């Protein structure tokens, strides 16, 4: 089976139940045409780069699936006909893919991200704030202890090279 990714932009002004029907239709079109949905990723409402059908915003959805060329053509034909879909794009990711391996990889990455989120939320937020405040205080104290190094000494000023752009002497012929 081939591995595809389709991103489509739905009209953000349609009601939630109509959006759900559209998303279910996309899922069933894939499964009805000998395809297998790997991941349904809803990105939400985002600002469009340019106006499409007098809309400034769109609801982005990413479908990651395996199937044949017929699966893609059926899905794209349905998107062309449906007025709720503003734009769509399909990309072939892999010529020969195993849907079971792809599903396992997606599940593993989701579990890894959940574990990372849990570890990040375990510590209290006040501890991180206190650490940042302590670091800022220490940096300010160190800056107060060191002498001001912004002014160059006379020796350093005399040894500075002259910038040719600032020089008003005319070159000798």
Global pTM exceeds 0.85 = no
Instruction: Name residue, tokens 């997606």.
Output: 106
Question: Nearest Cα to 11, choosing from 72, 79, 75?
Answer: 79
**pLDDT (tens digit per residue) in 68-77:** 999 999 999 9
pLDDT grade, residue 171 (50/70/90)?
Answer: low
Question: Nearest Cα to 89, choosing from 76, 71, 70?
Answer: 76
**pLDDT (tens digit per residue) in 50-66:** 999 999 999 999 999 99
């Amino acid at each position: 089976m081939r591995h595809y990714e389709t991103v489509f932009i739905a009209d953000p002004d349609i009601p939630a139940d109509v959006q759900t029907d559209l998303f279910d239709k996309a899922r069933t079109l894939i499964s009805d045409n000998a395809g297998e949905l790997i991941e349904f990723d809803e990105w939400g409402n985002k600002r469009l780069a340019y106006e499409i059908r007098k809309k400034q915003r769109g609801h982005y959805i990413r479908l990651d699936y395996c199937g044949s060329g017929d699966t893609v053509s059926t899905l794209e034909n349905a998107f062309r006909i449906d007025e709720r879909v503003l734009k769509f794009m399909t990309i072939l990711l892999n010529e020969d893919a195993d849907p079971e391996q792809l599903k396992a990889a997606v599940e593993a990455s989701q579990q890894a991200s959940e574990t990372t989120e849990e570890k990040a939320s375990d510590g209290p937020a006040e501890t991180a704030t206190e650490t940042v405040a302590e670091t800022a205080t220490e940096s300010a104290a160190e800056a107060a202890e060191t002498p001001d190094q912004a002014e160059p000494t006379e020796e350093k000023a005399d040894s500075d090279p002259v910038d040719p752009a600032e020089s008003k002497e005319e070159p000798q012929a």
